[in-house]
């Protein structure tokens, strides 16, 4: 996909439209607190890259610099906000996130809270101001007009409660898609770390079936990607898929090199 934006507020519609029309849309995940890593990750062919501010030490200031490093490269910047919090979402969007992934959404009310925080009035309660996304005021009007329709809101389904409430969550206007966190889900179902446990597979199936009925994208994070689990996810009907995490990619390739040497010595 050709994704370059004209300015910070120049939304890269093809990714947003892909999510809304349930086309396959592949991203990846950043946990390393480094603009250099972000430059590398965003220069590959991932449609989107999420910066994880929930399970890392990446602050909003550091996120801001990571986003600067991604600007003009191939992938659009998403953020997994640290929590479902009005200010966390507002700052993430003002600093340059084109999509938010909101963790731990278990109910329709919590999904509504996330959408409200992400939308300008009258649809929501996001505050207006000069920010990077409107080029510090230069494109204020244009950005204010386009933002509500152009920012992707994805909520994470990572508990038994959320799976039970999936239909109500998908009914919330402004939720563009849902994204399964398999590890938290395994914790919630009492089979910690067993992401292939039948309980988790059945829960995922329920989420996909509901997404099919509500015409919304079902997503999943494949934390340890293999040819087999990527193929399986696509066959099951997942559309919005995150492949891997920078920390895993780094460890795996560093490990592979040292293992080659061990074999030669």
Q: Establish whether 71 is a catalytic residue.
A: no
59-67, 180-188, 226-234, 254-262 -> range binding ligand 3PY (CB under 6 A): 180-188
Which of these ranges, 62-70, 85-93, 128-136, 153-161, lies near Mg ion under the rule CB under 5 A? 153-161
**Rounded CA separation 33/67 (Å):** 11
Residue 49 near residue 78, CB atoms below 8 Å: yes
DSSP bridge pairs for 123? none
Tally of residues, the chain: 265
Q: Which residue is nearest to ligand 3PY (CB)?
A: 181
Contact criterion met (CB below 8 Å) for 25 and 239? yes
H or E element at residue 200: helix 198-214
Regarding 246 and contact with ligand 3PY (CB under 6 A), the answer is: no
Q: Could you say whether residue 183 binds ligand 3PY (CB under 6 A)? A: yes
Give the one entry of ligand 3PY, Mg ion, none that residue 221 binds, where binding means its C-beta sits below a cut-off of 5 to 8 angstroms depending on kind: ligand 3PY
Among 47, 52, 94, 158, which residue interacts with Mg ion (rule: CB under 5 A)? Answer: 158
- Given 47, 94, 158, 246, the residue binding ligand 3PY (CB under 6 A): 158
Cβ atoms of 94 and 130 closer than 8 Å: no
Q: How far is CA 33 from CA 56, 89, 124, in A?
A: 8, 19, 31
Summarize as ranges the residues that interact with ligand 3PY (CB under 6 A). Answer: 158, 181-184, 221, 223
Interface residues with Mg ion (CB under 5 A) are 158, 181, 184
């Amino acid at each position: 996909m050709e994704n370059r934006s004209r300015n910070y507020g120049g939304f890269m519609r093809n990714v947003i439209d892909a999510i809304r029309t349930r086309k396959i849309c592949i991203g990846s995940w950043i946990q390393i607190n480094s603009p250099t890593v972000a430059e590398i990750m965003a220069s590959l062919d991932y449609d989107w890259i999420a910066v994880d501010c929930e399970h890392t030490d990446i602050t909003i200031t550091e996120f801001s610099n990571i986003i600067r490093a991604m600007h003009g490269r191939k992938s659009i910047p998403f953020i997994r906000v640290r929590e479902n919090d009005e200010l966390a979402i507002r700052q993430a969007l003002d600093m340059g996130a084109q999509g938010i992934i909101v963790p731990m959404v278990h109910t329709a009310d919590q999904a509504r809270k996330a959408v409200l925080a992400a939308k300008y009035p009258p649809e929501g309660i996001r505050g207006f101001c000069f920010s990077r996304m409107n080029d510090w005021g230069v494109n204020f009007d244009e950005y204010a007009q386009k933002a509500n329709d152009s920012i992707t809101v994805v909520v994470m389904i990572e508990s038994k409660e959320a799976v039970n409430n999936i239909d109500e969550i998908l009914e919330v206007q402004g939720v563009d898609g849902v994204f399964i966190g398999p590890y938290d889900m395994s914790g919630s179902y009492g089979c910690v770390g067993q992401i292939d446990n039948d309980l988790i597979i059945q829960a995922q199936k329920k989420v996909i079936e509901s997404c099919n009925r509500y015409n919304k994208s079902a997503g999943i994070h494949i934390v340890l990607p293999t040819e087999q689990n990527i193929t399986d996810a696509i066959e099951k009907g997942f559309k919005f898929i995150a492949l891997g995490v920078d920390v895993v990619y780094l460890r795996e390739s560093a490990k592979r090199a040292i293992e080659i040497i061990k074999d030669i010595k």
